[in-house]
Amino acid sequence: MRNKYRCYKKRVMLVLLSALLFNCQSSIVNGQLSSQSSSDEALMAQAARAEGLDKTVEFQRSMEVYRQQLAGQYLFDEQLATEQAQQAYGKVVQAQGDRMLLIREIFHALPQHVRQVEINQWQQRMDSISGALAQGADFETLMNRYSDVRKPVWITRLDVTAEVEDSAFALKPGQVSQPFLSPQGFHIVQLVEQRALDVNAYNKTFVERAKTHAFPDKVTEKQIAKLKQTYGFAENQQTINRLYRDGKCDGALFTLDGETYTGSQFARFAQTYPMGVRSQYDAFVTKCVLECGAKHLDNNPAYAEAIQTLADKLLAQEAYRLHVLVPSQTDEAGLSAYFSTHQKDYRWQQPRFRGAVIHAADKKTAKKVRKIVKKLKGQEWSDAERLLDNKTRDKVLVEQGVFEQGANAFVDDLEFGGRQAKPLAGYPVAMTVGKKINGPDDYNEVRAKLQQDYERYLSDEWLSALRKQK
């Protein structure tokens, strides 16, 4: 059974791929910080360290992620990766009349940390589906019933994992593959149609993808082999044979950079990597080799400088968030005080109407409600309907707010002398209550802009204080 489910040997490479494509610096700097000078950013990072922000669990975890992501860019040989990609491409074009395939799949996705019991269950189910297909069951019917993907798709060798590529390109039109396992999940593939590949277009696409290392299954084996040689990787074959036979073992599996890696360490890793033992071992070796390489990167001046830059940016961001961003959003007393001091800055170019628009079924009801609304504070106008008896409530609608010209036809008509507004159906009478104002009296009326201005003010004050401490 296990031979039928060929496992992807280096699923951990997919994590590395995302690292290679990850721009660490741009991902941790928000819009506010990106405008700061490098000297101010350094001051903020220094303040963050003085406050112990570099000792927090959150920062340590974030830096560990960034270290791993950045390590991929320094560990892998760019020239070797390109050479390997070109070799892989050469094998493709050497195949006579290479093809594009239209395939259908019965596919079930598996999460990265799936339990072994679920893998076993789906192995049995895919075996049953495969048996039904062998007995003449309709592929499309079973696909629509069991598959997570229910539409045919055109593929080239660039578009799929090694498992899907090997299975699909071995088929003839109409043929169906045996079930197999990839990093994404379980597959049964049917080849629907094929056509000749546009080699020139394919070559161009291939080269572009090679530049971004988008072939983890095709180009990384020699990269790992190079790192193994660099750090003196040596296996204990007897222990490995016991591991393959029994699924577990004691003792040393291999040495790397003078350190011994044991069966108990492998067992802990295998708990998070539910694949076959051979695939688990290969992934464990790859993980250890990459970690070993990353450890030695601390002696690489360019890598150390990049890590320091990332740490400073992350600390500056967190310090800015605590000292500026959060207060600018939540410090109500500070917002109110800033508004009071700068109220003239928030005057409008044209007057606005603060009040309520009353829509009523008749004039009597409108006047009654208007009288009630006049006695209420502005923030209570929207509750006016609640104060009415049921009979009156059914005859009235109330809109309240601060209306600029053009925002409400009835306000334009009754307060700004605009065009006559067409009455609402069922509510032919409209009246207003309130007054025209030239600027806000309450800071909440201009909260969004006020928060931006207050953030800028807090940032300037904080940085000024940091510069004086320098």
Q: What is the DSSP string of 401-469?
A: EEE-TTS-HHHHHHTS--SPPPPBTTB-EEEEEEEEESS-SSGGGGHHHHHHHHHHHHHHHHHHHHHHH
pTM (2 d.p.): 0.50
Note down pLDDT in tens along the chain; length 470 residues.
333 333 333 333 333 333 333 333 333 333 345 456 788 899 999 999 999 999 998 888 888 777 766 776 677 666 665 665 566 666 655 654 468 899 999 999 887 566 777 788 888 889 989 988 998 889 998 998 889 888 999 888 767 888 898 899 999 999 999 999 887 889 999 999 998 876 566 655 655 554 444 444 444 677 788 889 999 999 999 999 999 999 889 899 999 999 999 999 999 888 877 778 888 898 889 888 888 887 888 788 888 888 888 899 999 999 999 999 999 999 999 999 999 999 999 998 899 998 889 898 999 988 888 888 787 765 555 555 566 667 777 788 888 888 989 889 999 999 998 878 898 888 999 999 989 999 888 888 888 999 999 999 999 999 999 999 87
Residues 191/174, Cβ–Cβ less than 8 Å: yes
Give the residue extent of every domain in the chain.
8-76+221-299, 82-215, 348-438
Task: Give phi and psi for 160, each to the nearest 5.
Answer: -135, 165
Compute CA distances 287 → 12, 16, 22, 69, 85, whole Å. 7, 10, 19, 13, 22
Can you say how many angstroms the Cα of residue 9 is from the centroid of all Cα atoms in its chain?
26
**Tell me, what's the pLDDT at 325?**
92
DSSP 115: -
What angle separates helix 301-320 from helix 38-50, to the nearest 10 degrees? 80
Strand partners, 255: 234, 260
**Tell me, what's the pLDDT at 399?**
84
CA distance 235 to 255: 6
**Tell me, what's the pLDDT at 217?**
45
Residue 235: count of CB within 10 angstroms of its CB: 16
DSSP percent split of the chain into helix, strand, coil, nearest 5? 60, 15, 25
CATH 3.30.200.20 applies to domain 82-215: no
**Tell me, what's the pLDDT at 221?**
72
Residue 341: count of CB within 10 angstroms of its CB: 10
| Residue in the structure block whose two tokens are 């999940």 | 185
Can you say how many angstroms the Cα of residue 348 is from the centroid of all Cα atoms in its chain?
40
